[in-house]
Structure 1
């Protein structure tokens, strides 16, 4: 069997130190069996609340932090709402641009078709292509007397 070690307790102070005795005995109090066990979360919030009640500056800092947090959340919400609205407006404008581009393409196709049929229509109206340059000399022009 193993030997038991004995510990010796003494009130003597270690070498070089003076013995320090407590000035008074610790206070004792009765703990009732009916104490309510609080959750760790509740105790944490209780400690924070107690800490802020004991000091006035941390309470002000806590209030500023809460105001900053609420303002940040509201700012983010407003920014997200505005971005969503702008996105919707941009998609609507893109749809209108696409429709207008299709209309321009349709009109361009009609114009090309009319230009292609222009010589044929001119021949039906008995028009002939011009031969050389034409010039009109108005040096000797005299207006008629009935015209003013």
Structure 2
């Protein structure tokens, strides 16, 4: 039933709340833009717009130029700092690798020395040496040189 009522209503007197249908000629038409603009022309147009905008505003062009210089300098400084940090990181890595290589060499040499010290008593016995049983000390306080020619004249 509601559909029938609407159809009856819609055929009645025109509603003042509804906008009247506009003619089709006022509808915007789409068309292809055939102009080709190069990147340089766009840059020049953008610069021209910036100049016009700065002249119409209270902020002069000088402030914008200073701000751009500060932004550029901070970008360059951050890139230089990052590059230096990466170089330092590579240098630290190389140093760590060198230290670990030297530590490995030291450990290899120490193990070789330990093996040689362990085999020393066996080699000494093969050569006919006998291990010392007690300690001997020599006192040189009363020592006089035997070939001293100045002292005998």
When the two structures are superposed, what TM-score results if normalisation uses the length of structure 1?
0.59
Q: For 1:62 and 1:3, how far apart are their aligned partners in 2?
A: 57
Q: In the alignment, what sits opposite 2:97?
A: 95
- After superposition, the CA RMSD in angstroms is 3.3
Contact 2:54 2:60 in 1 (8 A): yes
Q: For 2:16 and 2:120, how far apart are their aligned partners in 1?
A: 124
When the two structures are superposed, what TM-score results if normalisation uses the length of structure 2?
0.58
Q: For 2:107 and 2:114, how far apart are their aligned partners in 1?
A: 10
Gap change, CA 1:48 and 1:124, over 3 Å in 2: same
Higher helix share: 2
Alignment of 1:98-137 (within 5 A): 98-137=100-139
Contact 2:51 2:61 in 1 (8 A): no
The CA deviation at 1:85 is 1.4
The CA deviation at 1:80 is 1.6
> Counterpart of 2:103 in 1: which secondary structure?
helix
Q: For 2:90 and 2:58, how far apart are their aligned partners in 1?
A: 48
Q: For 2:55 and 2:108, how far apart are their aligned partners in 1?
A: 76
Please list every run of 5 or more consecutive structure 2 residues that lacks an aligned counterpart in the other structure. Answer: 1-12, 18-41
Alignment of 1:37-76 (within 5 A): 48-54=50-56, 57-76=59-78
Please list every run of 5 or more consecutive structure 1 residues that lacks an aligned counterpart in the other structure. Answer: 6-40
